[in-house]
Amino acid sequence: MTPKESKSWWKEPWPWFLMSGPLLAMIGCGVTIWLASTHADTPVSGAASHGLVVEKVDGPRVPAAVRAEASTGGRP
């Protein structure tokens, strides 16, 4: 048996295939950071925050039991 001559690493497809995942993740991270820094969050009007709960301030207040009944169609 004669030893097979190996190609240079950059001429093989596997290193490029394995490097493409982290490279795409870095590009996606850069795009996400760019989008987050250029598009500012706009404040929501007509809402009040109470801890982790955000409630609508405008309009009539509907009790939770009535909302639950309306969403299930009156079924328990």
One digit per residue, pLDDT tens: the chain, 76 residues? 566 788 899 899 999 999 999 999 999 999 999 999 998 888 878 888 888 888 888 766 666 666 666 666 555 5
pLDDT at residue 60, as a whole number: 63
The secondary element (H helix, E strand) that includes residue 53 is: strand 53-56
Q: Torsions phi, psi of 12, nearest 5? A: -90, 145
Alpha-carbon torsion (32, 35, 40, 43), positive or negative = negative
Which domain range does residue 71 map to? 47-76
Q: Give the span between the Cα atoms of 76 and 63, in whole angstroms.
A: 17
Domain assignment present for residue 27? The answer is no
Place of tokens 């939770």: 64
Contacts of residue 59, defined as CB under 8 A and 6 or more positions apart, other chains included, come to: none
Domain assignment present for residue 53? The answer is yes
As for how many domains the chain has, the answer is 1
Does the pTM surpass 0.75? The reply is no
